[in-house]
C-alpha cells in the first residue's frame, strides 16, 4: 500500500504515520525527518535545507525530489510506503507519480488530516521531539513517561527551531499557498480521504484504519 499524508503543520501527519507504519508493516518516509537527519549529520543537503526550514519556507523542489527519489529506491519500500510531508507542491506531485510509475507503482490513498488553525498553533507550541529517533510527544496530549526523555530510545527531547510562533505562522501560510492545492488534485484523482483530527491521537488512528479498510 502506498499512502500519502497530507495536511497543515501540526495536524498530526508524523504522529499518525509512525503508528500506521507499525500497523501496516511498511516504512514511514518523512521529508522533514530526512532533512533534519541530514542537518544532524552536517551534510551539504542538511545545510542547504536549514536556511529554508528556519524560515518556514519550502526547500526547492529539485533538492527535495532528488532526496525522495534516493529514498524510494531502497528495497524496504518494495511492499509500500507512508509518505509524510511529501509531496508538498504540484511539481513534487508530478515527480512522485513518475518515480512510482518507474517502479510499476501507484498511490492508493491520500489521507488529508485537518485541524483548526488555533489547534495547530496550540499543538506545535507544546510539541517535543526526540533528538535521536524523532519520536513525537506533546506536553498536553501525549507527554513522555519521564520529563525530557524519549519513551522509545531514551534520547533527549527538544523543541524544533521552526516551532516558534512566527515561523509556525509562516509555515501555515506556505501550506495554504503551495500545498493546499494538492487536496483538490487528489480529490479529483478519487484518492482523497479526509480525517478530522479532533478527539485525541488514538481516536484519529482508529478513524484512519477504518477509512483505509473501506477504501
The smaller minimum CB distance to Zn ion, of residues 75 and 147, is found at 147
- CA–CA distance, 75 with 131 (Å, rounded to integer): 26
Is it true that the peptide bond before 87 is cis, omega within 30 degrees of 0?
Answer: yes
187 is catalytic: no
Q: How crowded is the C-beta side of 44, counted as CA atoms within 13 Å? A: 2
The continuous run of DSSP H or E covering 204 comes out as helix 201-213
Interface residues with ligand AP5 (CB under 6 A)?
7, 9-15, 31-32, 35, 52-53, 56-59, 64, 85-86, 88, 92, 123-124, 127, 136-138, 141-142, 162, 171, 197, 200-201, 204
The smaller minimum CB distance to Zn ion, of residues 133 and 209, is found at 133
Q: Please, what is the minimum distance in Å from the beta carbon of residue 209 to ligand AP5?
A: 14
Q: Please, what is the minimum distance in Å from the beta carbon of residue 156 to Zn ion?
A: 9
Q: Choosing among ligand AP5, Zn ion, Mg ion, none, which partner's interface includes residue 141 (Cβ < 5 to 8 Å by kind)?
A: ligand AP5
- Within a 10 A sphere around the Cβ of 137, how many other Cβ atoms? 20
13 is catalytic: yes
Q: Choosing among Mg ion, Zn ion, ligand AP5, none, which partner's interface includes residue 155 (Cβ < 5 to 8 Å by kind)?
A: Zn ion
The smaller minimum CB distance to ligand AP5, of residues 42 and 104, is found at 42
Q: What share of the chain is helix, strand, coil (3-state, %, to 5)?
A: 50, 15, 35
Alpha helices in 43-179 (DSSP H): 44-53, 61-72, 90-102, 117-125, 165-174
- 122-181: which residues touch Zn ion (CB under 5 A)? 130, 132-133, 135, 150, 152-153, 155
- CA–CA distance, 36 with 45 (Å, rounded to integer): 10
User: What is the size of the binding site for Zn ion (CB under 5 A)?
Assistant: 8
Amino acid at each position: 500500500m502506498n499512502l500519502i499524508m497530507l495536511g497543515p503543520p501540526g495536524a498530526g501527519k508524523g504522529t499518525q504515520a509512525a503508528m500506521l507504519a507499525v500497523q501496516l508493516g511498511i516504512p514511514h518516509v518523512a521529508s522533514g525527518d530526512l532533512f533534519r537527519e541530514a542537518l544532524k549529520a552536517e551534510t551539504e543537503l542538511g545545510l542547504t535545507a536549514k536556511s529554508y526550514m528556519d524560515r518556514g519556507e519550502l526547500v526547492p523542489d529539485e533538492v527535495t525530489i532528488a532526496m525522495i527519489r534516493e529514498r524510494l529506491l531502497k528495497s524496504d519500500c518494495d511492499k509500500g510506503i507512508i509518505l509524510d510531508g511529501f509531496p508538498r507542491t504540484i511539481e513534487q506531485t508530478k515527480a512522485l507519480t513518475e518515480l512510482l510509475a518507474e517502479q510499476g507503482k501507484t498511490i492508493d490513498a491520500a489521507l488529508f488530516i485537518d485541524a483548526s488553525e488555533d489547534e495547530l498553533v496550540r499543538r506545535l507550541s507544546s510539541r517535543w521531539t526526540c533528538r535521536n529517533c524523532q519520536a513525537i510527544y506533546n506536553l498536553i496530549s501525549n507527554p513522555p513517561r519521564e520529563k525530557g526523555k524519549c519513551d522509545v530510545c531514551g534520547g533527549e527531547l527538544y523543541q524544533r527551531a521552526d516551532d516558534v510562533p512566527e515561523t509556525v505562522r509562516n509555515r501555515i501560510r506556505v501550506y495554504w499557498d503551495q500545498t493546499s492545492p494538492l487536496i483538490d488534485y487528489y480529490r479529483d484523482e478519487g484518492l482523497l480521504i479526509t480525517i478530522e483530527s479532533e478527539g485525541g491521537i488514538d481516536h484519529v488512528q482508529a478513524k484512519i484504519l477504518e477509512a483505509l479498510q473501506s477504501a
